Structure formats: structure tokens, C-alpha cells
Amino acid sequence: MRSTLSLIFVLLINSSLFAQLTISGKITDDAGKSVPFAAVYIKNTTQGASANSEGEYSLSLKPGQHLVQYKAVGYKQESRTVDLKQNKVVNVTLSTEVYQLQTVNVGGVDPAYAIIRKAIKKRKTYLNEVKAFTADIYIKGMQKLLDAPKKFLGRDINEMAKEMGLDSNRRGIIYLSESESKYSYQYPDKVHEVMVSSKVSGSNRAFSYNRATDMRVIFYENLQQWGRISLRPLISPIADNALFYYNYRWIGETTENGKTVNKIKVMPRREHDPCFEGYIYIQEDSWRLVGLNLYVTKKANINLVDTIRINQQFVPVDNKAWLTSNIRFDFNGGLFGFKFGGYFISVYKNYDLNPTFNKKDFNEVLRITKGVNKKDSTYWEQERPIPLTDEEKADYQKKDSIATKRESKGYMDSVDRINNKFSIRKLLIGGINRNNRYKKQYFHIDPILSRAIQFNTVQGVNIDWKASYTKLIDTVDNRYFRLGSTLGYGFSNHLFNAVIDATLPVNKFTLHLSGGSDVLDMNNLQPISPFANTLHSLLAKENFQKFYQKQFASVLIGGRISGGLRASVDAEFASRTWLDNTSAFSFNGRKQYTSNNPFVPYANVPLFAKNQSLKITGRLSYDFSNKYATYPTGRRFLPSKYPTIGFAYTKGIKNVFGSDVDFDKISADISKTNIRMGLYGRSAFYIGAGKFINSNSIYYTDYNHFYGSQALLYRGGINSFLLLNYYLYSSRTEYLEGHFQHNFSGFFTNKIPLIRKLKLQEIVHVNYLTSPELKNYYELGFGVQYFRFKLLYGRSYNSANNAHDGIRLAIGL
């Protein structure tokens, strides 16, 4: 009994030693107004927290004496010595920092320029100063709908707002999330992030899309790549060429922790350059950044938002370097009557500048495992370094109860019953769905008018009606079983066709089976869409697309072998029949349709005899990437910064199952998209080559086809041509093609008044093809892109033919 009491006594003593107490309070300015998101941390450590948007803070510490520092950009730092024996409330007032003007301008030159030149000179030193570190990072994101119309595109926004938990004025929080991550970095660009916990308001199953990597901003880098927010990279105020883009004004100096800090105002020299505005704080003698408060507006041609602000504060770590203590993005914007605003904030703590890493640690860039979103409210009350506001608390309470209801079987079934109701409008335009979300089963039939009905001269008006059934069968890797069918009928040639296909996972690969009868494009790349061909045929009597009938059975298995190495094998047996035109219908009676033989446009001469084909194709590709992100639904590999290479071999096998073909074809390709060119935009390229090493028996549909374009509407891909005929130059011998595309991302148009408001992106295409059938063929195209729309003028040159030109319109990247 005595030993038991002794053990309990020891445990009680130990628990008191490791107990966490709390310092909390409110941070205000001289006028009594709250100072939002002020940094709170223990001196000479990286243990800290942040105030919330109302200036309230809470910091958990072990019992004992602590020197707590309170800091916010633009305010004088305050310190408090706290002897923590029980929870304490410490309210703090921060005075607006007064910057003394003690330096005299020499020759009328603002002293800011001398300071900036010294900071630029030290830029690379501080960029490469820290070779490795780990840190604990807390991220909080909040977005609010500030205003919204009552109706949008015929939909009642009030009903949608009610479902989202907004108030009667359609205002309130639409996204609230918190996450904690363990973040590792190794010079120069290796990162590994493990999400420890995640909480999303209104969903008990979702995972926060807050990522420490996305929030990391380093102004010692010349250019800031902000993805979709800005198509052009933004220029750092201390970039190597910053003096060409910025004006500077020295506001004054102050003393912080015994060091002189200069406050400098930064202003773009030209109003619409991709530059920041605001203030940066540079420490005297060391010339390092110790804080910044910058913003960028629509004048810099940013997307999605009107204004985005960035506030970053730094703390010294182990007296070796200054690293981020917290960073905050505030944003606001509006579109179509909807106005929104919000913020994302990161708090860094527990830095370790001497971590030990395994060489393979950085193959995994991100890890989010099951269970990180299951932490209860007690956990979050202890762990979150930024207290919730009353509005945020209410949002969690309201939406968590809504989420529980939404995830119940009864609620899902009731929603499915409403969405699954049949209507003529759905049959004709929207499509018919029969979904069971609780069982993760989905059935869909394409709408008749918007997808199923087409026209071509071979089939006339025809129906190509698709249906599919999908079932989630692997919740770990998020893999599905899919069964699809297509029914087709030509009202002019009276041919009925049907195809059935199935897709299912087999270990780490995917197996695809298909078979039936179909009418297909003779160019297997399908460079023109049925919709574009229908429009050109009916309105201009230009029947570009040429067809044949294929009765077939095929099996394909493919997937990732390891890292960036992927492989696939495809085997197909088919009976192929050339088809004749059977319809001359058009809204344009002034022209004559061409035949279904592109080589004999005005005579119905079969392009090839009916034949049987057994082909096997194997393909290997490698993108040099072994980096991946791990989610609860499986592993996703990330694209490499290097090009992707591919190799393929196709064998046509004769005298097996009556097959008539006998050929061997090899091909190789190399490609890369989204190649960053700094302020000059981004590029992409594709190079492909192939050769038939044996063509003893080959038919037109076995040729190597190219992604040509003859129609106004074209499918713009990395390997597409602007003006090349779809069929005439397909090769049965050998070929070499090259494509280069560049998007200047508004480098020129942003300098033109009025035009810059359109946010147009200048694009250039250069294409080349050589083969015995075509000799040397070149294309040059230039135009503009607006969101996903491209308008291009192209001109082609051929050593064997005259030059041609044309206009092309595409929807795509």
C-alpha cells in the first residue's frame, strides 16, 4: 500500500512539472483598438503564438519565469516578465513605432537607395544561409462571403447560402480550417511536410488544403512565383534588378533589441509592373530583412482577387539566422456580384537548424494520413497558437452539426432522391444521374441534345449515346470500378453500333477491357472534335472528319512501375471497313461535300480494303520524378522539373486469327510543359520521332498520324499543328516532328493602356515536321490567350508547296 501511495505521489509530482499553464490576454494600440495577428514569443526561443484578428492571444508554457515579447510590424516591441505559477491574463498595449529621421540626404539622393544596395548585395548570403531546418507550423485559413446577389444564373442563392450556414443576408464564413505540420527543409529546394492534425469547419471527413509549402515565401529570391494568383512572377523589392523596377523612400530608423532597424517604403517605378507596394524593414549593418508589410493590387494584373497583402515577421534562431516567425496573407475581391475576403496565417515554432535526415526523406513531399482529422476539441484548445474569435467558434459549432447530419445515410439518401429525379430537361441537356453516395455508386447517362446528337456525311444525323456506372472499391488508394457503354446509330447509313468497356484496378495497375462496333476517325489522334466537324459541315459544308467502321476487342493494362517509370501494354484485334458518304444535308447549298477519301476528294474511291488486324503496342515513359505526396486516398506522384521521355513499339501480327497486317513500328518522344522563363512567361515543347522498320502489310489506319488542324475550332495540345491537313501527310515510313509554345503571360500587353485590363496573354507557336511524304514543313503562329480561350494566326511553309495561313480558335491551356 505504501509503495502504491509513493508511486502515485511521484506521478503527481512529475505531472505538475510537465503541466502546461496559459498566458492569455488582449493586445491593443494606444487608442485601445485591437492589434490583429501580433506575434507573441518567448525571448531567445522560437516558441510562440499569434494574436487572432481581434488581438486576443493565448500561449501555453511550462510553469516558471518567462520573458514574453510582443511584436507587430509598425509597432514598438514590448516585453513582459511573467512568473507563471497559474494561468495568467496579461493585456499589452503596443505603441505605434516612431522612426527617427537622423540621416541627411546627400546630393538629393534618398538614403534608402544605399540601404537597398547593401541588402541586394547580401541577398544571396541570406538565401543560402540556412542549409537545413525543421519546424512545427500551424496554419489557419478563413474566407468569408461579404456580399452576394439573391439570384445567379437562375439559381436561388438564398437557398445555397442556407445550406452553407450563412446568414439571411448571404454573408458569413464559407471556409474555416486549421492544420499543424512538421516541416523539413534541406538546401537548395528539398522539402518534406507531414500534416499532424487537420480540422475543417463543416466537414468531419475532409482534410485541410492548407500547405506549409504553399505558404512559404522567401523574398531573398529574385522572383516570387504565386501560381494562379499572378501569371507573371512578382519581383522582390531586393531582387538583383529591383532598382530598375522600384522607387524607395527612407521613412526613418528605430532601435529594436539593441539593433537599428530601417523602415523603407517601396513603390513600383511603373504602375502596372509586377511589383509590390508597402514597407520593408532592414537591420542596420547586417542588412537583413527583419519584417515586411507589402501588398499587390489589380494594377499588377493579378487574378482572382483585387488586393492581396503579405505580412511577414522574422526571429533570430540559435543566433545563426533569422527565420519566419509568422506570415499572413490577407485578400479581398469580387466577381459577378459576389464579394469575398479572408486570410491565411502560418505560425512557425520549435526550429531545429541541425536536423538529421535520411536521404530518401525528401522523396515524399507531403504526407497526410488517416486520423489527422479526428482530433477532438480538447486537443485543439491546447494546441492552437491563435485563439478562435467568437465568430469562428460559432461557425465550428453550427457547421459541425450540419456536417454530422450531411454524412448520415438518411440525409445522403434524401439528397440523392432529389438529385436523381427524372426530368425532360436533364434527358436533353443536363444528363441523367442515379447516384448512391452512401454506397459510393454512381450511374450517369449523357444528355441527348448537348452530347449525343451529331452530324457527319458518313452517318448523317447520328446518335452517340454514352452511359456509365462507377463504384469506389478501394478507399485507400481511391480506385474505382467503371463500366461504360456507347450506343450509336446513323440515320442515313442505318448502321447500329455498340461498345462496352470496363476499367478495374489490378494490384497497382489498371486493366481496361473494351469491345464492340464503332465508327471512328481514321486519324487515331482525333484532332477535330465531332462538335467542330458538325458545325463546319452544316454551316460551311466542310466535312473535315473522315471515318471508318471498326469491330474490335481490346485489352490494355498499364500503370506506374516505380517512381516516374510508367508502362502499358495494349492488344487489339479488329475488323476494319472503309465507309462511303451517305448524306449531303447542309444549311449551305453552295458547295459540294468532299468524299470520305481525303486523297480523292471528289470520287467515292475506297481508301483501303476491308481487313483484319491484330496489333500489340507496348509503351514506357519516364519523367525523372521520384517525388510524391501521400494522401489518405493513396500516393500521387508529382511532375518533374525535367522533361518526360517515352518509347513505344507496335507489332502488327499476320496470320493469327486471320490478321492481314505485318509491320513493326518504333517511336520515341520527349516533352515538357510549364517551363518557367522568369518575367518572360513560360514555355513548353514536344519532340517526337518514329520509323516503320517493317511495313510488309499495312493499312491507312495503321499509319503514324499527326495532330493536324484545318477547322477554325481546333484542339490545342502540346503536339498540335495549326494548319496541317488531318490526313494527307500521315506517314508509313519515318518522321520527325517538333513543337515549341511560349506564353509571355502579359509581358507586352500589360504595357498597353486599356488593353492591359483584358489580362491578355501573348502566345507564340512554332511547329516543324519532316517525312518522305512532306519534306520539310514549318509553322509559325502568334496570338493571344484569355483565360482558357486562344485566338491564333498561323502561317505554314513547305519546301514542296506554297505557304498557307489561317485563324484558329481553341479552348484549353
pLDDT in tens, 96-138: 888 877 655 556 789 999 999 999 999 999 999 999 999 999 9
Give domain status of residue 215, yes or no: no
Of the pLDDT bands very low, low, confident and very high (cuts 50, 70, 90), residue 192 is: very high
Per-residue pLDDT, 673: 93
Q: Give the CA distances from residue 487 to residues 115, 490, 551, 801, in Å, rounded to whole numbers and listed in that order.
A: 72, 11, 14, 42
Which residue among 286, 301, 316 closes a domain? 301
Average pLDDT over residues 516-538: 94
DSSP 644: E
Report d(CA 92, CA 139) in Å as an integer. Answer: 24
CATH number for 64: 2.60.40.1120
DSSP 648-668: EEEEEPPSSTT---EEEEEEE
Taking residue 290's Cβ as centre, other Cβ atoms within 10 Å add up to 22
Of the pLDDT bands very low, low, confident and very high (cuts 50, 70, 90), residue 374 is: confident
Per-residue pLDDT, 208: 64
The pLDDT tens digits for 242-257 are: 999 999 999 999 988 8
Give domain status of residue 425, yes or no: no
Give domain status of residue 600, yes or no: no
Of the pLDDT bands very low, low, confident and very high (cuts 50, 70, 90), residue 16 is: very low
Give domain status of residue 572, yes or no: no
Check whether residue 712 and residue 804 sit in a common domain.
yes
Give domain status of residue 48, yes or no: yes
Q: Give the CA distances from residue 52 to residues 28, 363, 388, in Å, rounded to whole numbers and listed in that order.
A: 12, 35, 7
Give domain status of residue 500, yes or no: no
Check whether residue 87 and residue 104 sit in a common domain.
no
The pLDDT tens digits for 199-210 are: 888 765 555 667
Check whether residue 57 and residue 109 sit in a common domain.
no
Per-residue pLDDT, 774: 86
Report d(CA 727, CA 608) in Å as an integer. Answer: 14
Of the pLDDT bands very low, low, confident and very high (cuts 50, 70, 90), residue 400 is: confident
Domains held by the chain: number: 3
Q: Does residue 728 contact residue 598 with C-beta atoms inside 8 Å?
A: yes
* Highest mean predicted confidence (pLDDT) among 350-354, 360-364, 413-417, 660-664: 660-664
227 pLDDT exceeds 80? Answer: no
Of the pLDDT bands very low, low, confident and very high (cuts 50, 70, 90), residue 13 is: very low
57 pLDDT exceeds 80? Answer: yes
3 pLDDT exceeds 50? Answer: no
Q: 50: buried, middle or exposed (CB in 10 Å: 19+, 13-18, 0-12)? A: buried
Check whether residue 110 and residue 44 sit in a common domain.
no
Per-residue pLDDT, 800: 56
* Highest mean predicted confidence (pLDDT) among 3-17, 469-483, 758-772: 758-772
Q: Are strands 682-697 and 734-743 parallel, antiparallel or unpaired?
A: antiparallel
Average pLDDT over residues 559-567: 90
93 pLDDT exceeds 70? Answer: yes
Give domain status of residue 438, yes or no: no
- Classify 433 as helix, strand or coil: strand
Check whether residue 62 and residue 110 sit in a common domain.
no
Q: 758: buried, middle or exposed (CB in 10 Å: 19+, 13-18, 0-12)? A: middle
The pLDDT tens digits for 622-639 are: 998 888 998 887 788 888
Check whether residue 106 and residue 88 sit in a common domain.
no
Give domain status of residue 240, yes or no: yes
Per-residue pLDDT, 104: 54
Average pLDDT over residues 507-534: 94
493 pLDDT exceeds 70? Answer: yes
Nearest to 789 by CA among 763, 810, 767, 758: 810
Check whether residue 802 and residue 767 sit in a common domain.
yes
Instruction: Specify which residues 782 forms β-bridges with.
Output: 764, 793
Per-residue pLDDT, 1: 40
- Cβ neighbours of residue 244 closer than 8 Å, sequence gap 6 or more: 269
361 pLDDT exceeds 50? Answer: yes
Check whether residue 124 and residue 74 sit in a common domain.
no
The residue range of the domain holding 67 is 18-94
Check whether residue 797 and residue 747 sit in a common domain.
yes
The pLDDT tens digits for 677-690 are: 988 999 999 999 99
The dihedral sign for the CA sequence 187, 190, 192, 198? positive
- Higher-pLDDT residue of 419 and 488 is 488
Element (H, E) at 15: helix 2-18
Which residue among 264, 286, 301 closes a domain? 301
Sole residue written with cell 492488344: 571
Check whether residue 32 and residue 117 sit in a common domain.
no
11 pLDDT exceeds 70? Answer: no
Helix then strand then coil, in percent of the chain rounded to 5, is 15, 50, 35
Per-residue pLDDT, 281: 95
Phi, psi of 446 (to 5 degrees): -65, 150
Per-residue pLDDT, 258: 86
Per-residue pLDDT, 448: 84
Number of H helices, E strands in the chain: 11, 43
Which residue among 301, 327, 346 closes a domain? 301
Per-residue pLDDT, 17: 40
Check whether residue 106 and residue 90 sit in a common domain.
no
778 pLDDT exceeds 70? Answer: yes
- Classify 530 as helix, strand or coil: helix
Instruction: Specify which residues 709 forms β-bridges with.
Output: none
Mean predicted lDDT score pLDDT of the chain? 88
Taking residue 170's Cβ as centre, other Cβ atoms within 10 Å add up to 19
Per-residue pLDDT, 33: 93
Check whether residue 705 and residue 793 sit in a common domain.
yes
The pLDDT tens digits for 275-316 are: 999 999 999 999 999 999 999 998 888 888 899 999 999 999
Largest distance between two CA atoms of the chain: 109
Per-residue pLDDT, 206: 53
